[in-house]
Amino acid sequence: MNVLLEADQIQRRIAELAAQIEGDYPPDEEVHLVGVLKGGFVFMADLVRAMSARVTLDFIAVSSYQQSTKSSGEVRLIKDVDTRLEGRHVIIVEDIVDTGLTLTYLQDILRARAPRTLRTACLLSKPSRRLVDVKVDYIGFTIEDKFVIGYGLDFAEKYRNLPHIAAMDEA
């Protein structure tokens, strides 16, 4: 396992992203973050704690059916948000954008709820793997096409608890 991003490097970047987000919305208006379970939970926890008291949050859960050979693009909603998004400033908070299929699906279903604004924040981006051109407004780090674990990201449900992000060893 080789470490790509150290814990303190991630924290510094999150502080920058939080400052950028804070500056992008009028100070007196609420910002509602929708975290994507499960991978986005650690990023979400650190991002909201770097933001001001006007932030509110919720979670959504999806599962993607992806065979190893092809990305079917089938995404299934496992858990919806609990609160209405209409008229609110909504930011989707996701761990990683890979093919872009998951985020495209999420943006489509959340946009249909008529939020006042809809943006997306992703800790990691693997642009070389993109199949659809999805707009991500806030990106923490752009990485190479390597399978990564830690800081919320799993391999077979393990390693989500690592404080850093590491690349899995090539088989």
Distance separating alpha carbons of residues 39 and 35, to the nearest angstrom: 9
Residue 153 binds ligand IMP, judged by CB under 6 A: yes
Tokens of 91: 């930011």
Closest separation between CB of residue 153 and ligand IMP, Å? 4
Which segment (14-22, 26-34, 91-99, 110-118) binds ligand IMP by CB under 6 A?
91-99
Which residues ranging from 28 to 57 are in contact with ligand IMP (CB under 6 A)?
Answer: 39
Residue 101 binds ligand IMP, judged by CB under 6 A: yes
Which segment (46-54, 83-91, 92-100, 108-116) binds ligand IMP by CB under 6 A?
92-100
Would residue 98 show up in a list of annotated catalytic residues for this protein? yes
| Angular region, 152: left φ>0, alpha ψ -120 to 50, beta rest | left
Residue 123 binds ligand IMP, judged by CB under 6 A: no
* Crossing angle of helices 41-49 and 7-24, rounded to 10°: 60
Residue 95 binds ligand IMP, judged by CB under 6 A: yes
